[in-house]
């Protein structure tokens, strides 16, 4: 039986992209799939052949309004009360009613809401349909989730609705990366995470660890290749330029992602070139740095030895799914949580905000290149990830449960 699945996401790439493997799995089964989020994501979803139900403003509008209400930038300064207002207050206030109307027309059999999306569960209550939550990283501490749950309760009451629990908690985080004391909930449904793939990719594609490509690079005698990616929201040239300058002194080649709006010219690193330019290959060979526009993470990981990142959950899980160690330089949001997990599991090194961040990052890269224990730990996590059910498996399970 074909089913109608509605995915609901905060309007941010870091929240939406981890949903896509499961959305593709339902799509490939022939099910009707739609995504409920801001209209700005239409190009991304059109390329996937997935319907968009537009509702609510983009993240920049939400951050501005939440900052006006609380006096705090919830992205840069993720205090529990500011985070609660952004996700469970401001976003619900500016999105929920339009979302209910759009979803009613789609008539879903199931709503899958990413872990910090409080609109999807409210829509499920309004339409009286089951919903599942889908995590995008390690379990979020109760000091954040309790505040959000308490705040959103008034939004249900305003609409005469009663919150209902998720029927399933879909979880792409392997047990090895969960925080100390974590216990799996009874309704947990594991799903194998993967680095973001390009449009048109079938579910479960590219789930190997990528060790063959890395071994080939190492055997060729080339210099180590380091991917530097701070995601779509935190790729600030003022932050990255000093780090890149220091990394160029430790004998590695760099591939640097530009985020959504920056260009290579925004980075004052002499001799660098844009990956899309005609002479990018020569610049990379002689100067050791290449810039890449927004590119699916899976493509960037093919021939790198390690990753320097802000520690977004999707990036962290995607990198570790390929068995690569990380240097995590958290900038805000939930990135300090991923940094702590990476440090605790020995899969990489966390660099906290200190005056000498560039030098500390460079030293960490050298350590990861000379101490094999980090790569060994990353491969151990990759091996556990490889045993988790695929998105296709999970889609089949959910579809059968709904029949």
DSSP 51: E
pLDDT at 278 (0 to 100): 34
Confidence at 101, pLDDT banded by 50, 70, 90? very high
The per-residue pLDDT for range 224-239, each reduced to its tens digit, is 888 988 866 666 777 8
Confidence of residue 204 (pLDDT cuts 50, 70, 90): low
Sorted by where each starts, the structural domains of the chain and their CATH numbers stand as 4-192+388-402 (3.40.50.2000), 211-385 (3.40.50.2000)
- pLDDT at 279 exceeding the cut of 80: no
pTM for this predicted structure? 0.86
Calculate mean pLDDT across residues 328-353: 88
Average pLDDT of 333-347? Answer: 88
Close Cβ partners of 146 (under 8 Å, ≥ 6 residues apart): none
Question: What is the arrangement of strands in the sheet containing 51-54, beginning at the earlier edge strand?
Answer: 51-54, 32-37, 4-8, 110-114, 131-134, 168-171, 188-190
Report the SS3 class of residue 79. Answer: coil
* pLDDT at 243 > cutoff 70: yes
Residue 179's pLDDT is 85
Q: What pLDDT digit, counting tens, does each position of 108-137 carry?
A: 999 999 999 999 999 999 999 999 999 988
Report pLDDT for 92. Answer: 98
Q: Could you please report the per-residue DSSP string of 14-35?
A: HHHGGGHHHHHHHHHHT-EEEE
6 vs 230, higher pLDDT: 6
H-only helix segments in 17-90 = 20-29, 42-48, 59-70, 80-84
CA angle 243, 341, 363 (to 5 degrees): 30
What's the whole-number mean pLDDT along residues 177-197? Answer: 91
* pLDDT for the residue numbered 231: 66
87-91, 206-210, 299-303: least confidently modelled range = 206-210
What pLDDT shows up at residue 270? 57
Helix/strand/coil percentages in the chain, nearest 5: 45, 15, 40
262, pLDDT greater than 70: no
202 pLDDT tier (thresholds 50, 70, 90): low
Q: What is the pLDDT of residues 370-401, one digit of tens each?
A: 999 999 999 999 999 999 999 999 999 999 99
C-alpha dihedral sign at 87, 328, 265, 42: negative
């Amino acid at each position: 039986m074909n089913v109608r699945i509605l995915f609901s996401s905060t309007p941010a790439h870091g929240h939406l992209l981890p949903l896509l493997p499961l959305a593709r799995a339902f799509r490939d089964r022939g099910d009707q799939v739609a995504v409920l989020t801001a209209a700005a994501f239409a190009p991304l979803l059109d390329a996937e052949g997935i319907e968009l139900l537009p509702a609510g403003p983009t993240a920049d509008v939400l951050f501005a309004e939440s900052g006006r209400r609380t006096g705090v930038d919830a992205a840069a300064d993720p205090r529990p009360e500011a985070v609660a207002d952004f996700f469970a207050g401001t976003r619900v206030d500016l999105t929920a009613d339009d979302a209910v109307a759009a979803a009613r027309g789609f008539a879903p059999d199931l709503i899958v809401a990413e872990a910090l999306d409080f609109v999807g569960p409210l829509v499920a209550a309004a339409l009286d349909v089951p919903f599942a939550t889908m995590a995008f990283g390690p379990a979020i501490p109760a000091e954040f989730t309790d505040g959000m749950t308490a705040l959103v309760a008034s939004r249900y009451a305003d609409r005469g609705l009663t919150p209902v629990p998720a029927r399933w908690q879909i979880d792409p985080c392997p047990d090895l990366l969960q925080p100390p004391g974590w216990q799996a909930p009874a309704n947990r449904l594991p799903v194998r995470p993967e680095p973001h793939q390009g449009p048109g990719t079938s579910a479960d594609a590219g789930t190997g660890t990528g060790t063959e490509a890395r071994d080939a690079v190492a055997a060729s005698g080339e210099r180590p290749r380091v991917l530097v990616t701070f995601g779509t929201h935190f790729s600030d040239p003022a932050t990255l330029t000093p780090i890149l300058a220091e990394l160029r002194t430790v004998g590695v080649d760099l591939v640097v992602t530009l985020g959504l709006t920056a260009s290579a010219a925004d980075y004052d690193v002499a001799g660098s070139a844009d990956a899309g330019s005609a002479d990018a290959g020569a610049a990379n060979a002689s100067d050791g740095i290449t810039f890449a526009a927004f590119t699916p993470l899976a493509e960037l990981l093919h021939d790198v030895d390690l990753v320097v990142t802000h520690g977004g959950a999707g990036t962290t899980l995607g990198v570790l799914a390929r068995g690569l160690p990380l240097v995590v330089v958290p900038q805000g949001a939930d990135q300090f949580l991923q940094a702590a997990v990476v440090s605790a599991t020995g899969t990489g090194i966390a660099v906290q905000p200190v005056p000498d961040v560039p030098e500390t990052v460079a030293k960490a890269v050298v350590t990861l290149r000379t101490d094999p224990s980090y790569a060994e730990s990353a491969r151990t996590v990759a091996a556990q990830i490889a045993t988790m059910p695929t998105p296709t498996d999970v889609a089949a399970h959910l579809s059968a449960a709904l029949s």
